[in-house]
A and B are shown apart, each in its own frame.
Chain A
């Protein structure tokens, strides 16, 4: 049975959170794969056109990391990796950003332990995550998981001669110009200038034509790139939604983003990393002819993005896929039995089972429609006091009226209680104690009862 546990610092918890929320934009499930060298968290989207993975290096990223397998169970060679699948939601709710950000808050995390309980003597297999917070509060989460065959996207680095590397900040500036509702981002080099274009294939007709999303192209000098070895006028495009997710995460890491590809309808790979964390995205591309405008007819089912199983989990008891999290403030010290690297047989990622080619059906055409929310997680709407001029949306806001205009959105309980008590006084004047009695019950009369209704009782 594999022994697997690690400990991470608060800053790393934040990084795990960022990685998980980036993966959440690809698929709702994530796969964990642990080996002695690294922990890999990855997602493959449902149409199998995009594979996103984060590789946490065992020596650099973790405070403590231990992974070992025992060959007790049978004669055959123990597997060198352990893998499972679980819902991203479950982990995201544990690695919350605010727990790390607010250093002053009592629930801020000081340490995080992760442990796999899959020993032969255990009755049920669980992933146990303990968050050690201030004031000796310990939050323990016990997650069930599903052992699974994890698919990796294969990418032919040698066969992908075109590469460019640029800072995430530059890409973020580019992405910010893109309007909402476009589907693809295309890039190409022409006369020492690299142009990123966001566009959509959907052609509206008649009156609808002005609802077509804005077509945006951003041209950068090729000197703005750290490296730019790409063929002139070779157009290639990926879903703009994926591009945004990647750029947003890369920007949080302040990394330099490297992209490698060969040609349209073959996978492209985007990588970046720092501080023991490497991000790797393999995406199916769409080829476009020299004019982006003609792209609509260029889409053919892609063949290239293949996935292969790399590991087979050996967890003995298959936990039900339903996720159960428990939270208790058990004040108990967790065993920290992993202290760094434990020597294990060398692990060769390149070797396992023959690549099993899976055609990604209609990969390029069925790319998820880019319904990009500009107010989404990574792109907080630009702080702009111009928004004060936007019309109020009276329907969506709670019926709460507070006086403080600056904090109008914030909920102020004292305001209700003040209003309630005022209403109660008014009510008492009219009704005596009858109303008071009713108020104490669960079906209290709203303080905003209409005068016309009240008159009815008097008459």
Chain B
């Protein structure tokens, strides 16, 4: 069993971990020769199944094991990994590998960072890029004509940091029983508005609901109603005894279905629930029947929205009264194979 790779994009990796960590402290990480999957299945609440393309994060990736497709299954503490990656945010070179210390398997991060040191003041050496390309900081700072007395003591400090995070290696049989949820085709699919907006509005609604509800027992946990139609409208609402508020977004995009992705081709698209919902929306799309609605746990939703730090291209799929599925894409739209975090959020009955 061997895993070693350079981390090309520390920030994305760190943000993925931080987003997942808000759902559950522990994740199942599946490393294969094709991709890396992180799966978070909390005892209750939203599950997240993510698939990261190697080139999104890694470089010089080596993964070998006796299993099929060189699969390695690990149980990792997300907070520790996220924290360790955060400490690498200014690094020049970061490697991750699977090792053992005292017979405990470890994900070991080796972080090379270099810092310019002055007299008790530090300037982090980040490559400065402008339209002229790479600007070599070192030359100018060491130039006595440039520096004068204040800069005379500048020099580079090379620091190597290793962060060893204990992990657990899982046997294929440990994870054999875990399957991604299978749901029927959604009624509505819609590009979500900016998650920063969604989050601040949802959080405010949740606060209002909490403040105007007398008891805070599990029964009365605040719920948000989210509904959308196939005419670019999305609504988030909260209702308690004392108040009823909603926010409505319009002019959002409903992505077109790609017939090549369906077994039945064009016919499958015509029979798709979303096509029916479009018809139900009426000529101007304002008909109530064209809306699909879910009721979601507000606090859980706030944890899900943590994904906004890493993804700004999110499609929400609503299966009326059943579930909300969020596909959160990472990286460029142009890539064929994209990294994606998929959240399965279940709906509560009224």
Contact = CB atoms under 8 A, between A and B. Distances in A.
Given A176-B87, A179-B84, A394-B206, A169 B75 contact: no
Given A177-B87, A293-B102, A451 B241 contact: yes
Contact of B167 (A210, A216, A386): A210
Give the interface size bracket for A toward B.
Answer: 35 or more
Interface string A180-222: 0000000000000100000000010001011111111111110
Given A169-B121, A215-B101, A394 B207 contact: yes
A170 to B, nearest CB: 7
Contacts of A176: 87
Interface in B298-344: 298-299, 302-303, 305-309
A179 B159 contact: no
Nearest to A455: B241
A221 B157 contact: yes
A216 B161 contact: yes
Contacts, number: 131
A392 B115 contact: no
Interface string B125-156: 00000000000000000000000000000000
Interface residues of chain B: helix, strand, loop or mixed (majority): mixed
B5 interface: no
Interface in B77-108: 77, 80, 83-84, 87, 101-102, 104, 106
B302 A392 contact: yes
Contact of A391 (B160, B163, B204, B306): B306
A226 to B, nearest CB: 11
Query: Interface residue tally of chain B, by bracket?
Result: 35 or more
Given A394-B210, A405-B200, A214 B309 contact: no
A389 interface: yes
B19 interface: yes
Contacts of B299: 391-392, 394
A187 B86 CA distance: 23
Given A210-B26, A216-B162, 18 more contacts: A167-B117, A169-B120, A173-B159, A179-B163, A209-B104, A209-B168, A210-B75, A210-B166, A210-B168, A212-B104, A215-B101, A218-B159, A219-B162, A220-B159, A389-B306, A390-B22, A450-B214, A451-B242
22 contacts: A169-B117, A170-B117, A174-B159, A176-B87, A177-B163, A179-B83, A209-B166, A210-B167, A214-B163, A217-B161, A221-B158, A293-B102, A389-B18, A389-B199, A391-B22, A391-B302, A391-B303, A391-B306, A392-B207, A392-B299, A400-B211, A405-B200
